[in-house]
Amino acid sequence: MEGEQRLMTAIVQRVLSQENLRRQQGAVMFAKIKDEIKQPYYTSNFPNDGQRFVAWYLRNIHLRDMNEAKADVTDGADDKQIDAIFVDDDNSTVYIMQGKFVGSATIDAEPLREVLSAWIQLKDIVRLQETANNKLRQRLAEVALALDNEYDVAFELITTGTLTEAARSDLATFQAQLANTDDLPASIHVVDEDELKRRYELALERENPLISHTLQLQPDKYLSMELGGTRGVLVALSLKDCLTFPGIKDGTLFQKNVRQSLGLNNAVNKGIKHTIYNNGRDFFFSHNGITAICNQMELTDDRTLRVKGVSVVNGCQSLNTILSCSEKVRATDNAFVMFRFYEIPQRDRADRISISTNSQSPVKPRDLRSNDKRVLALKKLFEQKYPQGYLITKRGEAAPADKDKSLVVDLAELGKYLISWHSQRPNIAYSETRLFDKYFEQLFKRDYKPENIHALYFWMREVWKRWVKDNPLGLNESLLAMRAYAPFHHLYAVSLCFAVANRMAEGVPNPVVTLEKAQASGIVDQVVDMAGICLNTALEAAANEPLSANRVFSPQNWIKTKNCLAGIRAAIQQYFTMLPSMPGGRELSQKLRTSLTMDASQFEARWAAD
């Protein structure tokens, strides 16, 4: 009896020790944030610690820059329980955030009800815009466009505290409600003190993520083997343990997967949700399993499995859906999934396995474009023309160290250059999914000259030099907040400078000819500066146009629609018209027109994109 009492005392002390450690870590994270939001950027742009906390989260977790974070924050009067909105075009996700900066205290279900209220209001986005504050109206215009493009919606409750047990119960209810709706499918995630610390540490490695993870396997629920010189471990893993994997929501866990999440409304994912909520014990038998590869794997005698450089190559849809039902999963004890871990450091084998194992949901053409013959032909031509160059065709791939960085081009970026220049549609460049699906056939041509690839990349690098913190062109703050896609409008404006100077209303200039002429005349900087200034002028002109009642101008919506294209062309035409009347402008005007002159044969028809 005395021995049992000592054992029970030791267990209680260990639990209390772990709880105290967790609280101390949470207090450290709160103190860190409290200190960092005293920086001038936060104090000068946001009136209270609540807004500063949300801005800190945007900058440090979602890696938004200063202008983007400022534009994302919508907190204030008439914010409709929405503190910030971030439209992530790369991952086709709309993040809607509610922040609670409360120290290490516990929080009740009230903030969760605010999130649910925001979800309900978002179903009628027209009415929501009518009663929202000005910043929220602007962001909602962008949200509406994203929803039309079938983006996922993810609500995030961000707090430095922890939920009470009652609040966790409500979270499970809300997750079930969002999981079983068809009119606006969404997920809801609580980023509490533990999750905030984990995401912060993961964000520090975002540029070169190498995910490691440790699992405690259950007795009689795993099998270790070696086949063909490759180590493998098959595990019946509880769905609860699946929630502990880092990198699910931000996609870093799936770098070697041929696709990312297909959305919560996908038919297969609906089936996964239904099984979790209605028949969890049969999940193992209903699911095909998840495949993960890693660079190194260790299984110890005490059933501890450590994997380094882990990437899930089949199971992205499943893990995202499991995460969206996290509270139901935590309340379920007998739900398991087959997890296959393979130790495969070789990249080519990893790619083959990724393609071969993705059969549960259809693999769309854009998932496999890196192996398309047209892409391979472009890569071969470019690297033959420029031996020190490299065309990156796969997500997460890095160019060899001996390559010239000024000649390293990413395929995804090239697609954005092509649609901005040749299709004259920079307003579509933000959607990588559409570039590699709907527009792939017209953009990536096997006979496209490598010299043109180099020329577009050169112009784009010059454009990026104007989109730095120092803001050398004095661009509008709203424009700087759209750094993820507005620079491609800047590239489009460069092409228009040549078109307008040659009075070509429809033609698109040959990229390599434009570069040769600009370099020969020494006017590269003048052309890029002029294009940026005219883009800025077009935005400000659009912002000053009168609007009907209850409508608000949204820079994010303007930049993603065709309305901006005519405005940019008009601004460039006006620039050329007014330049001769400015002090010293006559000489500059003559120099520009002479240097930009091209033969009509050096223009071609626009590649249709709509």
> What is the per-residue pLDDT for 309?
85
**Cβ neighbours, 10 Å, residue 280:** 19
DSSP string for 119-186: HHHHTTHHHHHHHS-HHHHHHHHHHHHHHHTT-EEEEEEEESSEE-HHHHHHHHHHHHHHHT-SSS--
CA-wise closest residue to 105 among 49, 157, 161, 158: 161
Element (H, E) at 373: helix 373-385
Cβ 17 vs Cβ 11: under 8 Å: no
Amino acid at 154: A
Cα–Cα distance for residue pair 221/286, rounded to 1 Å:
17
Ramachandran angles phi, psi of 75, nearest 5°? -60, 145
Task: Return all residues near 69 (Cβ < 8 A) that are at least 6 apart.
Answer: 55, 58, 59
What's the Rg (C-alpha) of the chain?
A: 27
Ramachandran angles phi, psi of 343, nearest 5°? -90, 95
CA distance to 174, 375, 467, 476, per residue, from 405 (Å): 48, 20, 19, 30
- Domain segments of the chain as ranges: 2-204, 212-360, 368-604
> What is the per-residue pLDDT for 357?
60
> What is the per-residue pLDDT for 354?
62
Give the residue ranges of the chain where pLDDT is below 70.
Answer: 1-27, 104, 204-209, 255-266, 346-368, 395-396, 549-550, 609-610
Cα–Cα distance for residue pair 419/411, rounded to 1 Å:
13
CA count, 13 A, side-chain hemisphere, 101: 19
Cα–Cα distance for residue pair 578/91, rounded to 1 Å:
43
Q: For the stretch 102-133, what's the b/e string if a residue is b when 16 or more beta carbons lie within 10 angstroms of its beta carbon? A: bebeebebebbebbbebbebbeebeebbeebb
Amino acid at 548: S
Task: Return all residues near 327 (Cβ < 8 A) that are at least 6 apart.
Answer: 168, 169, 171, 172, 175
Report the SS3 class of residue 236.
strand
Task: Return all residues near 201 (Cβ < 8 A) that are at least 6 apart.
Answer: none
pTM given for the model: 0.65
> What is the per-residue pLDDT for 609?
59
Cα–Cα distance for residue pair 81/75, rounded to 1 Å:
8
CA distance to 43, 465, 495, 497, 530, per residue, from 575 (Å): 38, 22, 15, 10, 8
Cα–Cα distance for residue pair 547/29, rounded to 1 Å:
45
> What is the per-residue pLDDT for 97?
95
> What is the per-residue pLDDT for 364?
45
Cβ 275 vs Cβ 286: under 8 Å: yes
Cα–Cα distance for residue pair 301/427, rounded to 1 Å:
57
Under DSSP, the state recorded for 73 is: B
| The token pair that represents 255 in the structure block | 């770098």
> What is the per-residue pLDDT for 469?
86
Under DSSP, the state recorded for 287 is: S
Measure CA of the first residue to CA of the last residue in the chain; give whole Å.
80
CA-wise closest residue to 538 among 476, 461, 458: 476
CB-based burial label for 49 (10 Å; 0-12, 13-18, 19+):
middle
Element (H, E) at 312: strand 311-314
Report the SS3 class of residue 59.
helix
Cα–Cα distance for residue pair 444/448, rounded to 1 Å:
8
CATH class, domain 2-204, is alpha beta
Kind of pairing, strands 152-159 and 187-191? parallel
Cβ 444 vs Cβ 374: under 8 Å: yes
Report the SS3 class of residue 38.
coil
> What is the per-residue pLDDT for 347?
56
Cα–Cα distance for residue pair 218/235, rounded to 1 Å:
9
> What is the per-residue pLDDT for 348?
54
> What is the per-residue pLDDT for 263?
55
DSSP string for 219-232: TTSEEEEEETTEEE
| The token pair that represents 158 in the structure block | 């961000």
> What is the per-residue pLDDT for 11?
47
Cα–Cα distance for residue pair 132/249, rounded to 1 Å:
28
Vertex 304: Cα angle to 299 and 309 (nearest 5): 65
Cβ 160 vs Cβ 103: under 8 Å: yes
> What is the per-residue pLDDT for 342?
93
> What is the per-residue pLDDT for 205?
60
| The token pair that represents 240 in the structure block | 């609860």
Cα–Cα distance for residue pair 514/508, rounded to 1 Å:
11
Q: Tens of pLDDT along 469-493?
A: 899 999 999 899 898 889 999 999 9
Cα–Cα distance for residue pair 260/252, rounded to 1 Å:
10
